[in-house]
Structure 1
Amino acid sequence: MTTAPAPAVRLLDRRVFAWAAWDWGSASFNAVITTFVFTVYLTSDAFTGLDPDAPGFKAAKAALSSGLGLGLAIAGVAVALIAPVVGRRSDAVGRRRRPLAVASAVVAASMIGMTFVQPAPSFFWFGVALVAIGTVAYEAGAVNYNAMLLPISTPKSIGRISAFGWASGYVGGIVLLVLLVTTLIPLGSSGVQLSALVCAIWFTVFAIPVLFAVPDDRRIATGEQLGVLATYRRLIADLVALWRNDRNLLMFLVASAVFRDGLTGVFTFGAVIAAAVFGFTFSDVLVFGVAANLVAGVSTLISGRFDDRYGPKPVIMTSLVGLVICGTIAFALQHEGRWVFWVFGLALCLFVGPAQTSSRALLGRLVPAERAGELFGLYATTGRAASFIAPAAFAAFTAIAQDQGFGILGIVLVLALGLVLMLPVKGSFSPAEGAGRALEGADHP
C-alpha cells in the first residue's frame, strides 16, 4: 500500500498541541503515581506494619521495594505480550484513536482504584497490582500515541515535535505536583489517596484533545486482520527478516530496549531511593520532583534541536554516558548526605528526557506510516521484553545486600549495558530507509 504524502506541519500547530496534551496528562501517572507520590507511599513505613525501631524493620522496608519491583516486572512481561497485537490491529483498520481512548480509560480507572489503598500492610499488594495494571494500559496506549507522531511531523521536524511532547509531560508533572503539594498531599495518607483521584481526572481531561484533533487515516490501513497466534508468528517472522536484512535496526531495538528500561528505572525508583537511602522526607521528595521535571523538561526541549540537526544517536550516546557517570557517583557517595542526591539526582534527570525522546524520534524516522503501529508495537515489545531487567536488578541488589542503596548500582549497570549495546548501532538513518524495507523480506502468511 502506498503511503499518503504527509501534509506540511508547523512545529506548534493545533494537532501538535493536541497530541502533546496526552503527554501532559500522562504526567499524572508517570510523575505522581509511579515516581514521586504513590510508589513512595506504597513503600513507606506504614506498609511494613512495624515500628521503625523494631527488629526486622530495615528488611521489611527493603521487601516493600522488592515487591514493587516484582510487580512492575510482571507488568513489563504483560506489555511485551500485548503490544504487538495492539499495534498490528491498529494498522489493519487504520484506527489509533479508539484503542488509545480505551487504554487511557483503563489508566484513569486504575488511579481511581488507588484512592481505596489504605496505609496498611494488607493493602500493599492491592496497590502494587493497580500500579501494574495502569502501567500495562499506559504502555499499550503509548503504542498508538507514538504512531500518531508520524502524521503530525516531517523528517525535518520529528525530533523537535517528539521532544515537545516529552517536555510537555515533564512540565505537566511540575504543574500537577505543585498543585497537589500545596493542597492535598499535606493532609497525609488521605491526601495521597485524594491525589490519585485528581490524577485520574487530570489524565482524562488532557487525553481527550488528541482523540479529536488527530484523525484516523483509513488510507494507510493494511486491511490485514490477524488472530493473536498469527500476530505472534508474524512478530517472529519480522524479527527474522530484520536479522537477515537490517541487523542495524535490530541492534537498535535490542539496545534501546535495555537502556529505556534503565531510564524507566531511574524515575520509577528514584523517589524510593531518595527517601530510603538519602533520608528525604515526603515533602523533600515532592520538591525534588518539581525540580527534576523542570530540569528534564528544559533539557528535552533543547535536545530536540540537536536531534534534528545532528541525528538521534549522538544525543542518545551523550545521555547514556552522562547517566552512567552520575549514577555511579551517586552510588559511591551515598553516605555523604542529601546533597549528593540533589546534585547527581538532578544531573540524572538532565539526561533521561533526551535519551527517551531521541529514541522515539529515531524509530519515527524509519517507520512507514502504514506500519507505524506494527513497528512501534515491536518497539514496545522489545522494550517490555527487557522491562524486567531494571526492576529485577534493583530488587536483586536490594535483597542481596539488604540495603536499598545498592539498588542504585543495579540500575546503573542496566544503563551501562544499554550503552555498550548501542555502540555498534549506526546513527545515520534516512527517513526513506530502514524498517519498511527491512521487513519486506519477511515470509508473511
Structure 2
Amino acid sequence: MEEFKLDKKVVFSWGIYDFANTIFSMNIISMYFAQWIIVDHHKEDIWYSLTYSLSMLMVALTIPVLGAISDGRGKRKPYLLILTLGCVLATFLIGGISAWISDVNTRVFSALFFFLLANYCFEGGLVFYNALLPEISTPQNIGRVSGFGVALGYAGSIIGLLLVKPFVTGNLFGLQFGSGGREKAFIPTAIFFLLFSLPTFIFVREKANRNSGEKRIKIKEAFRKVWNGIIDTKKYPGVLRFLIADYFFEDAIATVIIFMAVYAQVVMNMGDEAKILFFWFATTFAILGSLVSGTLSDRIGPKKTLFFVVSAWIISLSVIMLSTRTLYFWIMGPLIGICLGSTWTASRPLLATLAPRNMLGQFYGLYSLSGRTAAIIGPLLWGGAVLYFKKDNALVKWAVALLKKAGFNFSEQVLNTIQYRFAILVLIILMIIGLLIFIKVPDKKVKDYEG
C-alpha cells in the first residue's frame, strides 16, 4: 500500500508537459525544419548540423549552472516557464521569418538563428521539468509517474504530427484552406506547445525546501557548485559512474534517433511511406515500453530495469546490423520502440535514488550535460564511420574476407552499404562500454531518494 495518496490531477499536469514539448521536437527537429532548410531552400546539411550542435553545446555549458542556481533558490518552475516561453517565441518567429523575409539567404540564416535559440530553450527546459518529478510523486510510484510522462511524450509526437499536418498540406478532411508548405508547420507548433504546457504551470506546485532559501547565487559560485558536485561525488556513491554510463547510452540512442531514417532508406531501401508507418509503429511500442518499464522499475528497482533495457538495445541493434531482410528490420522496430520508451523512464528515478533531494536540480543538470554532450559527439562518430568504413577500406576488406572464409556471403547491395553496418557496430560498442561501467552503480531502493 502506498504511503501517500497520488494527486492524479497534478501528475497529469506534470506529464502533459512531456506531451507538449514532443510536439516541438517531432515537428521542428525531426520533420519539417530540416527539410525546409535542406530541401526547400537547397542549403547543405552542414548548416542544420552545425546549428543543432552549437545549441547542444550551449546547453552542455550552461544548463548545469542553471540547475545549481535553481537548487540554491529552491525553485524550478520559474526557469521552466522562462525557457518554455523562449522556445515558443523563437519557434513562432521562425514561422514569421518564412513569410516576412523575401531574400533567401537572410531568411534561412535568420531562421537558423532562431532555431538555435528554440532548441536551446527546449533542451534546457527538460532539466527543470525532470527535477519536478520528485515533487509530484511518492517514493513508491516515482517509476510509474516517470513512465506516464514518457508515454504522454510519445503520444504527443504522434498527435503533434496529426495536429500540424493539415497546416502543411493545406487540407483538412478534403477541405482546402491555404497553400500549405513545410513552413506552415512552425507557428501552429509554437501555439500547440504553449497550450498543452499550460496545465503544468497552473496546477503543479513546488514543495517548500527547508534546505534552500531565496538566496541569490552568483555565476562564479554556481560554476563552483557544479564543479564541486563532480569532484565530491564520493559523497553520493554511484552518481558519477551513472552519469558516465549514461553518456555512452545517450551517445548511441541520440544517433539512432537522428540516423535511423537514413539507415532505413539506404540499407533497407524503404520508401517514405514505409518509413512513416515504421516510425508510427515503433512509437506506439515506445508508449507501451515507458508504461511497462515504469511499473517494472517500481517493482524490481530502476537499476535492474535499465540493465535489461540496455541489454535489449544491444540485441536489437545487433540484429539490425546483421540482417539483410526488411522483415527483420520490421520485427526489431517494436523492440527498439520499447527500449526507447524504457530508457528514460528508468533513468530519471534511478538518478533520484542516487542524489540528495536538495541537489536534484544540479544533478539533473549533470544528467542533461551527459545526454546533450552525447548528442554532439554521437552523430560525429556515425558520420566518421560511414565516411571511413566503405567497402574499399583495407580493414573492411579484411573483415569481409574473414567472414567469407567462415561461410558468410555478401551481396553487392550489402557491400555497397557496409559502412552503415559498421556505424551500427560503433553504436553497439558504445552501449557495451556503458553497460560495463553501469554494472557497479549502487542498486538503491527508490524510497531512499528523498535523501
TM-score bracket relative to the smaller structure: 0.7 to 0.9
Confirm or deny: 8 A CA contact 2:352 2:449 kept in the other structure: no
Mapping 1:35-434, distance limit 5 Å? 35-39=30-34, 42=37, 44=39, 48=42, 64=45, 68-115=48-95, 116=97, 129-181=113-165, 184-185=168-169, 190-220=180-210, 221-242=212-233, 244-333=234-323, 336-337=325-326, 339-401=327-389, 405=420, 407-429=423-445, 431-432=447-448
Deviations 1:23-66 (CA, angstroms, capped at 9, x unpaired): 0111112222223444455555x5657xxxxxxxxxxxxx72x6
| 1:80 Cα deviation from its structure 2 partner | 1.5
Deviations 1:272-311 (CA, angstroms, capped at 9, x unpaired): 4334544444444333332222110011111111000001
In 2, Cα distance between equivalents of 1:180 and 1:395: 31
Deviations 1:191-240 (CA, angstroms, capped at 9, x unpaired): 32212222111111111111111123444434443222221122121211
Confirm or deny: 8 A CA contact 1:73 1:392 kept in the other structure: no
Bigger mean CA offset, 394-403 vs 369-378: 394-403
Confirm or deny: 8 A CA contact 1:25 1:206 kept in the other structure: yes
Q: What letter is aligned with 2:432?
A: A
In 2, Cα distance between equivalents of 1:71 and 1:410: 24
| 1:340 Cα deviation from its structure 2 partner | 4.7
Q: Which residue of structure 2 lines up, in the alignment, with residue 33 of structure 1?
A: 28
Bigger mean CA offset, 120-129 vs 169-178: 120-129
| 1:126 Cα deviation from its structure 2 partner | 5.8
Confirm or deny: 8 A CA contact 1:42 1:124 kept in the other structure: yes
SS in 2 for 1:151: helix
In 1, Cα distance between equivalents of 2:429 and 2:112: 25
Identity %: 25
In 2, Cα distance between equivalents of 1:117 and 1:408: 37
Confirm or deny: 8 A CA contact 1:174 1:289 kept in the other structure: no
Confirm or deny: 8 A CA contact 1:258 1:387 kept in the other structure: no
Confirm or deny: 8 A CA contact 1:239 1:250 kept in the other structure: yes
By relative contact order (CA 8 Å, sep 6+), the higher-ranking structure is 1
1:395 to 1:291, Cα distance in 2 relative to 1, 3 A: same
Q: What letter is aligned with 2:307?
A: M
In 2, Cα distance between equivalents of 1:410 and 1:190: 40
Confirm or deny: 8 A CA contact 2:83 2:124 kept in the other structure: yes
- Structure 1 stretches of 4+ with a deviation exceeding 6 A read 186-189
Deviations 1:353-409 (CA, angstroms, capped at 9, x unpaired): 111110011112344443221221222223334432212212322333576835444
1:356 to 1:240, Cα distance in 2 relative to 1, 3 A: same
Q: What letter is aligned with 2:216?
A: Q
1:281 to 1:69, Cα distance in 2 relative to 1, 3 A: same
Bigger mean CA offset, 17-26 vs 345-354: 345-354
Per the normalisation by structure 1, the TM-score is 0.81
| 1:351 Cα deviation from its structure 2 partner | 0.5
In 1, Cα distance between equivalents of 2:11 and 2:295: 16
Q: What letter is aligned with 2:304?
A: P
Question: Is there any run of 5+ residues in structure 2 with no aligned partner, and where?
Answer: 172-177, 391-416
1:42 to 1:296, Cα distance in 2 relative to 1, 3 A: farther
In 2, Cα distance between equivalents of 1:70 and 1:324: 29
Q: What letter is aligned with 1:166?
A: V
SS in 2 for 1:225: coil
User: Computing the radius of gyration over CA atoms, which structure comes out larger, 1 or 2?
Assistant: 2
In 1, Cα distance between equivalents of 2:179 and 2:332: 29
In 2, Cα distance between equivalents of 1:68 and 1:80: 18
In 2, Cα distance between equivalents of 1:423 and 1:261: 18
In 2, Cα distance between equivalents of 1:391 and 1:131: 19
Q: What letter is aligned with 2:310?
A: L
In 1, Cα distance between equivalents of 2:283 and 2:9: 24
| 1:414 Cα deviation from its structure 2 partner | 3.0
Per the normalisation by structure 2, the TM-score is 0.80
Q: Which residue of structure 1 lines up, in the alignment, with residue 393 of structure 2?
A: none
In 1, Cα distance between equivalents of 2:433 and 2:268: 26
SS in 1 for 2:283: helix
Confirm or deny: 8 A CA contact 2:19 2:196 kept in the other structure: yes
Q: What letter is aligned with 1:405?
A: Y
In 2, Cα distance between equivalents of 1:218 and 1:109: 31
In 1, Cα distance between equivalents of 2:38 and 2:189: 20
In 2, Cα distance between equivalents of 1:310 and 1:260: 23
Q: What letter is aligned with 2:232?
A: A
Bigger mean CA offset, 230-239 vs 29-38: 29-38
| 1:178 Cα deviation from its structure 2 partner | 3.0
Confirm or deny: 8 A CA contact 1:178 1:290 kept in the other structure: no
1:234 to 1:19, Cα distance in 2 relative to 1, 3 A: same
What is the aligned-residue RMSD (CA, Å)?
3.2
| 1:262 Cα deviation from its structure 2 partner | 2.4
In 2, Cα distance between equivalents of 1:394 and 1:129: 25
Aligned pair count? 411
In 1, Cα distance between equivalents of 2:278 and 2:111: 23
Q: Which residue of structure 2 lines up, in the alignment, with residue 52 of structure 1?
A: none
In 2, Cα distance between equivalents of 1:69 and 1:375: 28
Confirm or deny: 8 A CA contact 1:320 1:415 kept in the other structure: yes
